[in-house]
Structure 1
Amino acid sequence: MSEQSRGRRRGGADDHPSVTLSNGFRAVVEADRHQPGAFTLVVDGTPQSHVALDDPRYLSFEYVRRIGHGIDLVAPEGAPITAVHLGGGAFTLPRYIAATRPSSRQQVVELESDLVEFVREQLPLPREAQIRIRHGDAREVLAKLPPGLKGTVDVVVVDVFSGARTPAHVTSMQFYALVSGLLSATGIVAANVADGAGLAFARSQAATLSALFAHVALVVDPQVLKSRRFGNVVMFASANPLPFDRLPRLVASDPTPAKVVDGAELRAFIASAPVVTDQTAVASPPPARSIFQVKPGASE
């Protein structure tokens, strides 16, 4: 019996499949009580991914839906793209791209091999999807990707978390310089940034992307923008103008409306926030346990 198998619990109706990862965190797959055929991956008590196996086009989490809108606009509808995902989770966006853009080429980088095996067992990937999974630290693997991939990628999704926090080494200008080397001329970066009061971390991330890319836009809940609550700020960046004429309408019509911040408003948002380097990088701030955490027994 493998270490993973020993770490995994299997129970009855009041239990959920789970695995203990190498970092000590417990990963659990919980059925969505409100949507048959849908599941949530929870890691260290934090919901990480939502997957609707019967309808992979459905994106439940607010920030994932916002990234999905950006992916929808990066190329003509249905056209295959090349995508790299830094951070795997339950592969929500790779599944989405495979469903909406068949024949797309995708690479997913995930540190936790046990998590990948667990998710593939509990929430199998579509057989026809062209998704290659690479194991290892996002930044280390990024530097070792095949040379032929450089300059060809349409979308790089940066959604790297250890528990509820983004590690410092994937927040710096040096890290994003590696990301930019993958992109095609019109390729975009889509980064998920979690922050709280004051948004100091998000402002510095926006400053960092703006130092490397000529075009940057944020998508954010107005209440988060006003620093009234902890939340996600989705950041898009590209060397060329973002193809986002329709994006403001799309995000405004979501169940949780958001707004696009760019141009002068983005410059005001950044203000004097510093560009992050390897020497100054810090992990994203932790949320209060009451914000994103799953209460014990809440779904049992």
Structure 2
Amino acid sequence: MSESRGRRRDGDAEHPAVTLSNGYRAVIEADRHQPGAFTLVVDGTPQSHVSLDDPSYLSFEYVRRIGHGIDLIAPEGEAITAVHLGGGAFTLPRYIAATRPGSRQQVIELESDLVDFVREHLALPKEAQIRIRHGDARAVLAKLPLGLKSTVDVVVVDVFSGARTPAHVTSMEFYPLAAGLLKPTGIIAANVADGAGLAFARSQAATLSAVFAKVALVVDPQVLKSRRFGNVVMFASDDRLPFERLPRLVASDPVPAKVVDGAELKAFIAGAPVVTDQTAVPSPPPARSIFQVKPGAPRA
């Protein structure tokens, strides 16, 4: 494959790497503990874990939680329509293709160079119906075909620039664009990263609650208590969330989590401001030490 838009290779056969047009370095690392599995690291941040041998395996904690939500939105094995904002190594599109054959999926990814790099080294399944659209998530979202309106089962919002979510995909003006794609029973699944105090996560929960009738969070209790930086998965819908089994599923994960909704969600928001385009800020940066992994050590 030819180089594109200044994409510069700087890795080796064992650790393929490129410097992307935005200046970030992307590396694909083999998982030493799971043959056939790989981690995509961008700007020092592990962004995706992919098992080519078993795409139904989800390694990262927050991705497993989103996967549980996707499992519950339709009967097992039934094809769905999904839109993914943020591509990475296409972990969830591969998961949906494996667990729900025949699903139609669209992935919006800003970094075309990253898409080329991943597809070269971690090829997508040939039978998967995954269309990739290049560009800014919010801009492309507003221009998707009218035929997608009100037809989508799940929109996954997992947009990162390095280790931070850009401000313009966190606001009251952004979320209705995603909501317009959803069928009446469709859901939003958003990955929110935050640290001490969870001010960013609280404001995102407030914003989703201002747009959607139903909102629920899935979070590690230690993160909920603001004891460490982590991910808060947020689900939202204008219909009921079909998550009766979700508390048991997330509680039995290798890293247990809990579901926060109803009165507990209201207490979590506790007057946090709704985010607008005028007030939006990027998600807080994690300490670099959070992602420092000793050679050979397993990743979450």
2:239 corresponds in structure 1 to: 240
2:19 corresponds in structure 1 to: 20
Q: Deviations over 1:220-252 (max 9, x none)?
A: 000000000000000000001100000000000
- The reply on whether 1:11 has 2:3 as its aligned counterpart is no
Q: Deviations over 1:170-219 (max 9, x none)?
A: 00011001010000000000000000000000000000000010100000
Q: 1:19, 1:59 → 2: CA distance?
A: 25
Q: 1:186, 1:293 → 2: CA distance?
A: 40
Are 1:50 and 1:90, in contact at CA under 8 Å, matched by a contact in 2?
Answer: yes
1:161 corresponds in structure 2 to: 160
Are 2:7 and 2:21, in contact at CA under 8 Å, matched by a contact in 1?
Answer: no
Q: Which runs of 5+ in 2 are unaligned?
A: none
Change (3 A) 1:33 1:296: closer
Q: 1:297, 1:8 → 2: CA distance?
A: 24
Q: 2:297, 2:13 → 1: CA distance?
A: 16
Q: Deviations over 1:263-297 (max 9, x none)?
A: 00000000010000000000000000001245689
Change (3 A) 1:296 1:6: farther
Q: 2:75, 2:291 → 1: CA distance?
A: 35
Amino acid at match of 1:180: A
1:264 corresponds in structure 2 to: 263
Tell me the SS of whatever aligns to 2:88.
coil
Amino acid at match of 2:92: L
Are 1:4 and 1:20, in contact at CA under 8 Å, matched by a contact in 2?
Answer: no
Are 2:164 and 2:285, in contact at CA under 8 Å, matched by a contact in 1?
Answer: yes
Amino acid at match of 1:128: E
Q: Deviations over 1:73-111 (max 9, x none)?
A: 000000000000000000000000000000000000000
Give aligned pairs, total: 297
Alpha-carbon RMSD? 1.5
Tell me the SS of whatever aligns to 2:140.
helix
- The reply on whether 1:182 has 2:181 as its aligned counterpart is yes
1:114 corresponds in structure 2 to: 113
What TM-score comes out, normalization by structure 1 length? 0.96
Tell me the SS of whatever aligns to 1:218.
strand
Q: Post-superposition shift, 1:2?
A: 3.0
Q: Which runs of 5+ in 1 are unaligned?
A: none
Q: Post-superposition shift, 1:8?
A: 1.0
State percent identity of aligned pairs. Answer: 85
Are 1:210 and 1:216, in contact at CA under 8 Å, matched by a contact in 2?
Answer: yes
Q: 2:20, 2:75 → 1: CA distance?
A: 39
Amino acid at match of 1:98: A
Q: Post-superposition shift, 1:20?
A: 1.0
Change (3 A) 1:198 1:6: closer
Change (3 A) 1:294 1:20: farther
1:207 corresponds in structure 2 to: 206
Are 1:196 and 1:287, in contact at CA under 8 Å, matched by a contact in 2?
Answer: yes
Q: 1:184, 1:239 → 2: CA distance?
A: 10
Q: 1:13-162, aligned counterparts within 5 Å?
A: 13=14, 16-162=15-161
Q: Deviations over 1:97-141 (max 9, x none)?
A: 000000000000000000000000000000000000000000000
Change (3 A) 1:278 1:293: farther
Change (3 A) 1:122 1:12: closer
Q: 1:25, 1:167 → 2: CA distance?
A: 15
Q: 1:212, 1:252 → 2: CA distance?
A: 28
Change (3 A) 1:22 1:76: same
Q: 1:106, 1:182 → 2: CA distance?
A: 13
Q: 2:83, 2:217 → 1: CA distance?
A: 20
Amino acid at match of 2:135: G
